Chains A and B, each alone.
Chain A
Amino acid sequence: MRPRQKQLIYAGLTAILILIWIFYSADDLQTTAVLAGTVRAATLLALGAMCGMIGERSGVVNIGIEGQFLLSAFAAFTIASMTGSLFMGTLAGVGMGLIMGWLLAAMAVGLKVDQIIAGTVLNISALGLTSFFYDRSRSLGIGKYTNIDLGPLAELPLVGTVLFSRPPLTYLTMVLLVVVHIALFRSVWGMRTRAIGEHPGAADTVGIDVLKLRYFNVTIAGGLAGFGGSYLALEAVGTFSRAMSGGRGFLALAVMIFGRRTPFGAYAAALFFGFTTALQNQFQLNNTFDIPPQFVGMLPFVVTIVVVALSGLFGSMRDPAALGQSYEKG
């Protein structure tokens, strides 16, 4: 990262902190609610973005995150409700994500189906399957994941509620961000992953099995999206409803691109988009504007369009060179 970029980031952070402080002095309850909502919305986006970036760093586009979220949320909810165990439900969600990741890999990597079409297959089948098997009478029975206070930290004003009194999957997501960052940029796996996304031929000539690694990565990434599905059903909402992923799998892709396919960048972007979601919720709750709620609800998506359209202004962002291309030996 160039020094100028670093300066910009520090300047931006300072500005944000000052703004938060001003708002908090004006209305502490609302500010806390919006920021807590920001973190809640950001968690799902961050998980989806990590799923997307592991795929794209290896050269495989995954536009099926939406479907992976949805079907995994369904699996998590159903198993949790059947077994009465949130943990089992979470595992089921991750498992379903892995299966869908594997399916995407089988199509896009193994059979060399066009990657966009393969992702669309996931989205459509997830919507169809969950709508068909959706059982309106089923409920979670047990409550959703509840907040865990991190000792005295949770007592702090503002940050206590926003960061240190969260449910478990949110904490785990933060850990995952660090893990994925280290894995991508420090581990052997990460170096090879970045290589096969940029120049699979080069990786092949030094004995890296490109197809195998892509298979593995897309599958594992599916697990992350599956974890996101579990989060959605068992922690954020506490039930399953039709099409409950609501476009956030696609939003996650925007978050990934805006965050330059890095976990921390994506989390920053996720917080930004999460903020628009939380703000929109708060507006609707308080009836701040006298306009139909549907229009207020558009806020995060309008912001997405504007930000993605303008993202070119924030310096050049280059896609991995081999993105979207299936690899043929020789």
Chain B
Amino acid sequence: MTETLLGARKVRKEFPGVLANDDISISLQPGRILALLGENGAGKSTLVNILFGMYRPDEGHVIIKDEIVDLRGPDEAISRGIGMVHQHFQLVPPMRVVENIVLGAEPTRRGLVDLDEARTRVIALSERYGLEVDPDALVEDLPVGMQQRVEILKALYRDADVLILDEPTGVLTPQEADHLLGVLRELTETGLGIVFITHKLREVLAIADDIVVLRNGQVVGETRPSDTDESDLAEMMVGRNVMLQVEKSVSRPGDPVLEVKELEVKDDRGQIALDSLSFEVRAGEILGVAGVEGNGQRELVEAITGLRAPSVGVMKIEGEELTGESPRQITKKGVAHIPEDREKHGVVAIYSLAENTILNRYHRKPFSIRGILRRDVIRSHAQDVVDEFDVRTPSISVPASSLSGGNKQKLIVGREFSDDIKLLIAAQPTRGIDIGAIEFIHRRILEQRDKGAAVLLVSAELDEILGLSDRIAVLYDGKIMDVVDAQEANREQIGLLMAGITD
């Protein structure tokens, strides 16, 4: 009888400047689900990459089936029965499901790939585990939930006894996520072991048999769902008492600030991403836009901030039509934007913090006069932003790339909030940052609302939407399914809307 299906013993891994894993030991038993819980940067990914043979530990060992092994690459981990479902799916979009599943372990006949044999095996596998797929569909045509199923089948096809899933529910609706948890539970009944990586406390409590909490590269807690609860886990994760829910007052909405009428926007491929969208956001309220990513959120934010011209429709801010205007014209009207991708649209990585704080105002007095930047004004402005928004940095002269995700985000928020703003567009404002910074940014967003700004909050995190919004619009396939009052909203109802189900 195997004791440890997959484990780490005193694993240590150091990257330049970071101790990613420090003396970590874990052990997964057959038929059990081990949840690895931790914030971004806690060392989860490093640990998993070590278990999967992508990295080699500096010290310590990986254990597979009670045996100390020295993995030289993922192929060796695979051949020893470790299967991994990556957070970003590792599928080749223009290839068929069956080709993706067998890639790297292709059945052959007379030297050529035997796709018939592959198809037979895939169908048998999907029947055995109740994971239905169309083997001949192109992966790029499949919805994300189905792509994830392909990833799981890919691992099972290679006779995995262990499945490692990295943040598997991030891209799913709540119902799809529940379904996945059910599938995983069934898989364990065949003796499979599962390592489940997440930062979502609810899921951990729902699915895990054993919980390991990581912080700063160390194991800070080991427990079981029956012995703990959400606030306990959050405290372990962060290392101090945290408020999971920000307190907020009742909103007193005023006049409409943002009005969108029958907006049609095309995506990069020229397909319609937003289909005749109409809504408004009033002063002093937060309109949350819920939905699985890729249903038009990005195009919506880009259209409103002027980064993408709508093909049809009208967008007004405080009654003035600004459809198709440049970002600068729109910014001038008092629009602040926390972009979805902070590395790409939020900061210029090689610029200093000081320079980054004036990206939206460098052309104005007093920051520049007749085209010449005024260093002293800029530096004092930057220092104010850094102080007020608690950006942890040794100096305002270091490049933005030296900041952690949370501090970068605070810098962006600080830059955007340092004027009086009429409208705030916040896209995924807390993605991938630590709980402390999340709390901070949530409070600041509410503060803007209470000062009378209209806020459009776009987020894939349903908890964030439910916690902050006054009204919630659910976006599905480029259309608003419904707008509900946040006080009457519940997860199930929103989740169904996110899946495009209205009744």
**A residues within 8 Å of B by Cβ?**
182, 186-188, 190-192, 194-195, 198-199, 201-208, 318, 321, 329-330
Q: How many A-B residue pairs have CB under 8 A?
A: 69
Additional A-B contact list (16), CB under 8 Å, known A199-B93, A207-B104: A186-B113, A187-B112, A187-B113, A188-B108, A190-B113, A191-B106, A191-B113, A194-B92, A198-B95, A201-B88, A201-B90, A202-B89, A202-B90, A202-B100, A207-B74, A208-B103
Q: Mark contacts of B181-194 with chain A using CB atoms, 8 A cut-off: 1 yes-contact digit, 0 otherwise.
A: 00000000000000
State in angstroms the CA–CA spacing of A205 and B104 once bound together: 9
Q: Mark contacts of B68-80 with chain A using CB atoms, 8 A cut-off: 1 yes-contact digit, 0 otherwise.
A: 0000011100110
With A194-B95, A206-B154 as given contacts, are A330 and B108 in contact (CB-CB < 8 Å)? no
State in angstroms the CA–CA spacing of A201 and B89 once bound together: 10
Which residues of chain B from 141 to 197 have a CB within 8 Å of any chain A CB?
Answer: 154
State in angstroms the CA–CA spacing of A203 and B104 once bound together: 7
B124 within 8 A of A: no
State in angstroms the CA–CA spacing of A328 and B74 once bound together: 15
26 CB-based A-B contacts, threshold 8 Å: A186-B112, A187-B111, A191-B106, A191-B113, A192-B104, A194-B92, A194-B95, A195-B92, A198-B92, A198-B93, A199-B93, A201-B88, A202-B89, A202-B91, A202-B92, A202-B100, A203-B104, A205-B84, A205-B90, A207-B73, A207-B79, A207-B104, A318-B94, A321-B93, A330-B49, A330-B54
B450 within 8 A of A: no
In the complex formed, the residue of A with least CB distance to B269 is A316
Which residues of chain B from 370 to 420 have a CB within 8 Å of any chain A CB?
Answer: none
State in angstroms the CA–CA spacing of A207 and B88 once bound together: 17
B86 within 8 A of A: yes
State in angstroms the CA–CA spacing of A329 and B54 once bound together: 9
B477 within 8 A of A: no
With A194-B95, A198-B92 as given contacts, are A206 and B103 in contact (CB-CB < 8 Å)? yes
State in angstroms the CA–CA spacing of A321 and B92 once bound together: 9
B362 within 8 A of A: no
In the complex formed, the residue of B with least CB distance to A198 is B92
- The reply to whether A195 and B95 form a contact with Cβ atoms under 8 Å apart is yes
- Nearest-neighbour CB distance to chain A for B167, whole angstroms, equals 16
Query: Which residues of A sit under 8 angstroms from B79, Cβ to Cβ?
Result: 207
State in angstroms the CA–CA spacing of A198 and B111 once bound together: 23
Q: Which of A199, A204, A206, A330 makes the CB contact (< 8 A) with B105? A: A206
Q: Mark contacts of B102-135 with chain A using CB atoms, 8 A cut-off: 1 yes-contact digit, 0 otherwise.
A: 0111101001110000000000000000000000
B279 within 8 A of A: no
In the complex formed, the residue of B with least CB distance to A196 is B92
B99 within 8 A of A: yes
B367 within 8 A of A: no
- The reply to whether B103 and A203 form a contact with Cβ atoms under 8 Å apart is yes
In this complex, the member of B55, B84, B104 whose beta carbon has the largest number of chain A beta carbons within 10 angstroms is B104
State in angstroms the CA–CA spacing of A56 and B99 once bound together: 20
Which residues of chain B from 202 to 226 have a CB within 8 Å of any chain A CB?
Answer: none
State in angstroms the CA–CA spacing of A205 and B52 once bound together: 9
State in angstroms the CA–CA spacing of A199 and B105 once bound together: 17
Query: Which residues of A sit under 8 angstroms from B111, Cβ to Cβ?
Result: 187
Which residues of chain B from 409 to 445 have a CB within 8 Å of any chain A CB?
Answer: none
With A182-B112, A187-B113, A330-B54 as given contacts, are A202 and B103 in contact (CB-CB < 8 Å)? yes
- Nearest-neighbour CB distance to chain A for B15, whole angstroms, equals 11
State in angstroms the CA–CA spacing of A99 and B154 once bound together: 38
Query: Which residues of A sit under 8 angstroms from B112, Cβ to Cβ?
Result: 182, 186-188
In the complex formed, the residue of A with least CB distance to B49 is A330
Query: Which residues of A sit under 8 angstroms from B86, Cβ to Cβ?
Result: 205
- The reply to whether A205 and B113 form a contact with Cβ atoms under 8 Å apart is no
In the complex formed, the residue of B with least CB distance to A329 is B54
- The reply to whether A188 and B95 form a contact with Cβ atoms under 8 Å apart is no
State in angstroms the CA–CA spacing of A35 and B374 once bound together: 72
- Nearest-neighbour CB distance to chain A for B105, whole angstroms, equals 7
- The reply to whether A188 and B113 form a contact with Cβ atoms under 8 Å apart is yes
Query: Which residues of B sit under 8 angstroms from A207, Cβ to Cβ?
Result: 73-75, 78-79, 104
Query: Which residues of B sit under 8 angstroms from A188, Cβ to Cβ?
Result: 106, 108, 112-113
7 smallest CB-CB distances across A and B, nearest first, come from: A207-B75, A206-B104, A202-B90, A186-B112, A205-B90, A199-B92, A198-B92
Query: Which residues of B sit under 8 angstroms from A206, Cβ to Cβ?
Result: 74-75, 78, 90, 103-105, 154
Query: Which residues of A sit under 8 angstroms from B84, Cβ to Cβ?
Result: 205
Q: Mark contacts of B31-42 with chain A using CB atoms, 8 A cut-off: 1 yes-contact digit, 0 otherwise.
A: 000000000000
In the complex formed, the residue of A with least CB distance to B104 is A206
State in angstroms the CA–CA spacing of A192 and B113 once bound together: 11
Query: Which residues of A sit under 8 angstroms from B92, Cβ to Cβ?
Result: 194-195, 198-199, 202-203
In the complex formed, the residue of A with least CB distance to B76 is A207
In the complex formed, the residue of B with least CB distance to A187 is B112
